[in-house]
Structures are given as C-alpha cells and as structure tokens.
Structure 1
Amino acid sequence: MDLGWLVNFLKGMVKPVLALAVVLMAVILSYWQKLDLGWEMVYSIFRAFVQLSVIGFVLQFIFTQKNVTWIILAYLFMVAVAGYTAGQRAKHVPKGKYVAGVSILAGTAVTMLLLVVLNVFPFTPRYIIPVAGMMVGNSMTVTGVTMKRLRDDIKVQMNLVETALALGATPRQATIQQVKRALVIALSPVLDNAKTVGLISLPGAMTGLIMGGASPLEAIQLQIVVMNMLVGASTVCSIMSTYLCWPAFFTKAYQLETKVFAAE
C-alpha cells in the first residue's frame, strides 16, 4: 500500500503544530486573567484541528471524482449544518431551523446558479465547494440575525403591531418597519465589509491566492467576485427568511400569535 500521501500529510502538519504556540499563549493569558476559558480554547482548537483534517481528506476525495453528485451532497450538507446553526440563534422562531435552512438553500442556490450560467465559475468541485462554503457561512450569520431581530422587534412593539392590525392592516403592513430594521441590521456588516475590503484587512480568498503564488491583480479579481456573491446571497437569504417567518407570527385571523412572543 502506498503511504506516500500520509507521509506528506504528516510533514505538512509540522507548521500547524508549531502554530499551537500562539494558542498556548492565549491559554496562559486566560489563566492569568482568571477568565476560565483555557479548556474551552483547547477544546475549540482541538475540534477545529480534527474537523479541518477530516474535511481535508473528504475534499481530496471529492476533487478526484467526476460525478457532480458529490458536489451536490457536499453543498446540501453545508446548508443543513448552517440551517441548524442559524435556527439555534433564532430558537424562539417556530420551525426556525427549517426556515433558516430553506432561506439559505434558496439564496445560495440562486446566486451560485447565476454565477455558473454567466461562466464566472466552472461547475467543478475545486471551485464550487469553496465558493459555496463562503456563501453558506455568510448567509448563515445574516439569516440567523434577521430572524432573531425580527421576532425580538415585534415582541418589543407588540402594541403598535396589534393597533395596526386592528385598523385593518395586513401582517406585512403591520410589521413592515420591523422587517426593514431587521434586514438593515443583518446586512449592514456585509455592506460595511464590502466598503472597507482591502483597506483594513485582506480577505481570506485574496490572502490565500497571494500566499499561494498568484499575483495581487489576479487575487483582487477573485475577491471582487466573492464580495459580489456574498452581498447577493445574503440579501436573498435574509429577505426570504422574513417571508417564511410571518406565518408563524400570526394566526389565521391576522392576530399576533402571542405564545411565540411569550418565551424568553
């Protein structure tokens, strides 16, 4: 059996292991400041080490396959995990995990389809999986924040919403301001990042290309595409999540579902 790949992998892990020195520094500082975060830091890094190692072997396998089924399965797995995580953030939203998952799936799928149709990215594992990962991860955060903020704002302003409903407004009309506020708050970090990209820090995709030997001009071309797709996917996901949340917030008689807003 050829074990050359294993030898190369172990050799390549020397630098990551050496980089644990900075984690040790963080643990010592945590202990010194009595933050009680030392074990959590160790656990987090250990988990990241294991997860990234496993996913590295999985991607190595997928990249060698020509069947598009593996691309779709990897993408759906990422969406499922992201939907669960975003749903946990908005745990008081009924069927929050389902709402988040569907929203993330729709937003990222539409964005990815558009990029493939326009031939921005070829439909190959080496391109689609990393790009989809960036979109899904970003959309997960935006969707979770949107859902949680919308529910919390409606709870705080229940009297205003109920008054609007009593005057004949539809659920959408009665909560339009809360929806707008939730979307603005959720999307603002994405837009701020787009405004300051390259001025404060070099993003991951751009940094990876430069460190891999690509020219800075090639790196910025890819990064511009990445920023465009993140803004597009995040906007679609967040807007769709608000539409999917509405049915759970109101009864069939267009009244607020008070039990949704009673829990803390």
Structure 2
Amino acid sequence: MSTVALVCTLSFIGIAILLSKWQKLGLEKDILIGTVRSAAQLLLIGYVLQYVFHNNHPALIAVILLIMIGIASMNAAGRAKGLQGGRWRIAVTLSVTETLTMSLLLGLGIIPPVSQYIIPVSGITIGSSMVVCGLFFNQLKREADASRGEIETWLALGATARQAVQEVLKRSVRFSMIPTVDTMKTIGLVQLPGMMTGMIIAGTSPIEAVKYQLLIMFTLTSSAAVTSILLGLLSYRMLFTEDMRLRYLK
C-alpha cells in the first residue's frame, strides 16, 4: 500500500467524526485520540518487530511476550474492579495459556521456532484471552449479585465456597466463550477474518490462507477454554471475605 493510499484511509475516520458530531454522540475527541494512538503504536511496534525479526534472539522474544501479557493484564483487570487480586490472577492465567499454547504449537512442529511466527501468533492468542478475561469478570460479578440468595443459602447449608458458586462459575465461563464459539460457527460465511484477508491481499493462495486461519481459530478456541476455566478456579474465592461471607460487588 502506498503512503498516499494510507493517508486516504483517514477519510473513514472523518466519516466517523462527522456522524458523531451530527448525532451529538460526543465521541469526536475519543476518535481523534484513538486514531493518533493507534497509528503511533502500530508504527512503533512495526519498527520494533522489524528489529526483533532480524535478530531472532530468544531474550528479545521473551521480553515482547512479557510486555504483551503485562499490558493485557492491566487492561483486563479494569473489569475486575471490586475484586482484590484480579490483576495477578489474570497475569498468571494469560501466562499459563500462552505457555501451553506455544508449547503445543512448537512441540508439534505446527509453526517454526522463529520470532516471525511466535510473536504474531502469541499476540493474537494473548489479545483474545484478554477479552475472555474481561467478559468472564463482567459476567461473574453480575451472576454473583443476581444469585446472592442462592449462594448464601448454600453457604448456610454448609457448602464450601466452590460448591456455592459452582453454577455461577459455569455460567460465567460459558458467557466468556460465546464470542469465540459464535465466530467458529460463522467464519467464512459471515466474515473473512483479518489474518486470512491480509494474506490473500498480500498474494498468498486462498487455500494456504485458510490453513493458517484454521490454525488461529482452533488455537483461539482452546486458549479461550483454558483461560476462562483457569481464571474461574483462581478467582472464585475473591467473591468471599475471609469469614466466608459473600462480598457486595460494585
């Protein structure tokens, strides 16, 4: 894509700003800030990745992955307000999910052990898992609040914390996985995913692009399941005080 063509894509931002102004949505400032930030961040990471891909040093790859996990944990932790210790639990969950996923991909020889493959696939996996974490905590708090009477009844009957919130955890896990499962059902029919589209535009055979997209889709499904279930196991005690009373969540 030429620089002129790239600049012309700003017309889409202009349309969004005009519509926001017309409907008095008040999103003009946020759209402008988001445009500048996304451009700056992507250009910066482009130069960083060019350097990392050229050197392909394991330490550089590890640093990039740790930064990804750290930023994703801080972002997803915003959905766990009112629950102390959410950030480190998310960080542990993302780290385990990334380690398991990458171990399988590299161990089975699905992708080669080079930064050009490891970092992009890890970015997609961590980003998707971050969304799952946010959805899980949103639903967990709603479910715990809606089921307060049921949970307190179970506790009064002598149930453990895990037993009292078992159904709440199940519903929260299912909710957090809905986008991933729905995407699997409609991929190729309703949408052509970004990775596949980008490869086709770059000149790759559509069949080859489909293979890589299936790799990503299957990986994301597994990582979503691991993320939501592990986060549930690590987080359910956050709903209770030390003397086993259900917290009032904001």
Compute the TM-score of the two structures, normalised by the length of structure 1: 0.91
2: distance between equivalents of 1:99 and 1:15? 43
Matches within 5 A, 1:228-243: 228-243=218-233
How far 1:81 moved relative to its partner? 0.6
Aligned residue among 1, 5, 13 for 1:15: 5
Matched, 1:256 2:245: yes
C-alpha contact 1:143 1:237 (8 A) present in aligned 2: yes
> 2:149 is matched with which residue?
159
Deviation string for 1:226-261 (max 9, x for gaps)?
0010011111111111111123223455x2243xx2
> 2:33 is matched with which residue?
43
2: distance between equivalents of 1:40 and 1:107? 32
> 2:16 is matched with which residue?
26
C-alpha contact 2:65 2:122 (8 A) present in aligned 1: yes
How far 1:12 moved relative to its partner? 4.4
> 1:192 is matched with which residue?
182
Matched, 1:71 2:61: yes
Aligned residue among 212, 216, 226 for 1:222: 212
2: distance between equivalents of 1:228 and 1:256? 40
- What amino acid maps onto 1:212 in structure 2? A
Aligned residue among 112, 131, 154 for 1:122: 112
How far 1:104 moved relative to its partner? 1.2
> 2:83 is matched with which residue?
93
Indicate the RMSD between aligned Cα atoms, in angstroms: 1.4
Q: Aligned residues: percent identity? A: 35
Compute the TM-score of the two structures, normalised by the length of structure 2: 0.95
Aligned residue among 52, 57, 79 for 1:62: 52
How far 1:151 moved relative to its partner? 2.5
C-alpha contact 2:132 2:228 (8 A) present in aligned 1: yes
After the TM superposition, list the runs of 4 or more consecutive aligned residues in structure 1 that deviate by more than 4 angstroms: none
Instruction: Provide the aligned length of Structure 1 versus Structure 2.
Output: 250
> 2:191 is matched with which residue?
201
C-alpha contact 1:94 1:248 (8 A) present in aligned 2: yes
How far 1:202 moved relative to its partner? 0.5
- Residues 190, 204 of structure 1: CA spacing in aligned structure 2 closer, same or farther, 3 A cutoff? same
2: distance between equivalents of 1:91 and 1:26? 31
- What amino acid maps onto 2:61 in structure 1? I
Unaligned runs of 5+ in 2: none
Instruction: Give the match's secondary structure for 2:190.
Output: coil
2: distance between equivalents of 1:132 and 1:12? 28
1: distance between equivalents of 2:236 and 2:79? 17
2: distance between equivalents of 1:209 and 1:122? 18
- What amino acid maps onto 1:138 in structure 2? S
2: distance between equivalents of 1:203 and 1:151? 31
Matched, 1:146 2:136: yes
How far 1:185 moved relative to its partner? 0.7
C-alpha contact 2:148 2:246 (8 A) present in aligned 1: no
Deviation string for 1:5-60 (max 9, x for gaps)?
xxxxxx94332211101111221122122222112111111110100010101001
- What amino acid maps onto 1:118 in structure 2? L
C-alpha contact 1:90 1:145 (8 A) present in aligned 2: no
Range 102-111 or range 134-143, more displaced = 102-111
